[in-house]
Amino acid sequence: MRLSQNGNLAAKQEVQGYEEEIQKQLEGCIRRYRYTGSFLNYVFRILEYAGRGIRPFYAYSLDEPIFDGTKRKIDNVSYDSSTGARC
């Protein structure tokens, strides 16, 4: 984006290639906005996060086997000796 601001034509053309993606993001913002603060700040944050390429959230199960399959992830969770609860 900085190259585009300085007049680099190749960078300007690169940014123009994302117009459709930006339009989709804006339409999504309009549908999801729930009157909590400034709409423009909301749009700015959505576009900022989309531009960063935030890594997706992955859910893991503590029942998954580890190492050679004889243990599960839950087996490595420690116990509170006073209550017997897992920590």
The helices-and-strands tally (H runs, E runs) of the chain is: 4, 2
With 60 as the cut, is the pLDDT of residue 75 above it? yes
Q: What pLDDT is stored for residue 46 in this prediction?
A: 85
Q: How far is CA 87 from CA 27, 41, 71, 75, 84, in A?
A: 43, 39, 18, 12, 9
DSSP state of 36: S
Please tell me the pTM assigned to this model.
0.42
pLDDT tier at 50, thresholds 50, 70, 90: confident
Does the structure show a pLDDT above 70 at 19?
yes
- What phi and psi values does residue 47 have, to the nearest 5 degrees? -65, -35
3-state helix, strand, coil in the chain (%, to 5): 50, 5, 45
Mean pLDDT of 36-40: 85
Q: How far apart are CA 66 and CA 42, in angstroms?
A: 41
Q: What is the mean pLDDT of the chain?
A: 77
Beta bridge partners of 79: 86
pLDDT at 37 over 60: yes
